[in-house]
Amino acid sequence: MRVFVDTEFSNFIGCDLVSVALVADDGREFYGERSDFDRTSCSEFVRAAVLSQLGQYPDRVFTRETLRAALVAWLDQFADEPERVLCFDYFGDWELLCDLVDGPPAGWQAYHVGQLLDPGRQEDYYREHHGRHHALVDARANRHAMMDRAPSPDTP
């Protein structure tokens, strides 16, 4: 089972997690925003492109600790899958995920899919869904860009 991960964060220096989304090959999704990140540390880009998109899912806003617990519980539903791969297009997404759940999630492999994404399919998704720089939209776009690529040893 491949699960596509995307995050939004405050800036490239402090890298405080703002939101996280995971989208599985079979369509199951997780999304969460932090209520306790430091808005004053956000870059101008994040203030303009990311913060304005927060709050679309009011029931998915958590403190860091409750977000961690909700995400760990969501990942646990895949425990019986023979192969579990967390796919990301930016290494910082993996680092922020590991930081949130206190280390690499047990039983999961990590795979950087940045070079494998079909950029045309990804852009088509963004155009059709009118946006980007929202963790859930970006994770869905990455899944869409990899849909025709079957899991294999070289391509998860």
Q: Which tens digits make up the pLDDT trace of 22-46?
A: 999 999 999 999 999 999 999 999 9
Domain limits for position 37: 2-146
Residue 32, both tokens: 């969460």
Range in 126-130, 135-139, 149-153 the model is least confident about: 149-153
- pLDDT per residue over 63-104, tens digit each? 999 999 999 999 999 999 999 999 999 999 999 999 999 999
Query: Which strands sit side by side in the sheet containing 2-9, from one edge to the other?
Result: 61-62, 29-34, 17-24, 2-9, 85-88, 109-112
Q: How many domains does the chain have?
A: 1
152 is a domain residue: no
* Closest residue by Cα to residue 53 from 140, 142, 135, 144: 135
Say which residues have a Cβ less than 8 Å from residue 28's Cβ, sequence separation at least 6: 77
Q: What is 33-46 written as a DSSP string?
A: EESSS-GGG--HHH
6 is a domain residue: yes
**pLDDT exceeds cutoff 70 at 59:** yes
pTM of the model: 0.89
49 is a domain residue: yes
Contact assessment for residue 54 and residue 18, using Cβ atoms and an 8 Å cutoff: yes
Which CATH number does the domain housing residue 48 bear? Answer: 3.30.420.10
Question: Which pLDDT score is estimated for 149?
Answer: 59
DSSP-based three-state secondary structure for 96: helix
Partners of 112 in the beta sheet?
A: 88
119 is a domain residue: yes
Q: Convert 26-55 to b/e letters by CB count within 10 Å (16 or more is b).
A: eeeebbbbbeebeeeebeeebeeebbebbe
142 is a domain residue: yes
DSSP-based three-state secondary structure for 145: helix
154 is a domain residue: no
Contact assessment for residue 22 and residue 4, using Cβ atoms and an 8 Å cutoff: yes
Residue 91, both tokens: 């290494």
**pLDDT exceeds cutoff 70 at 151:** no
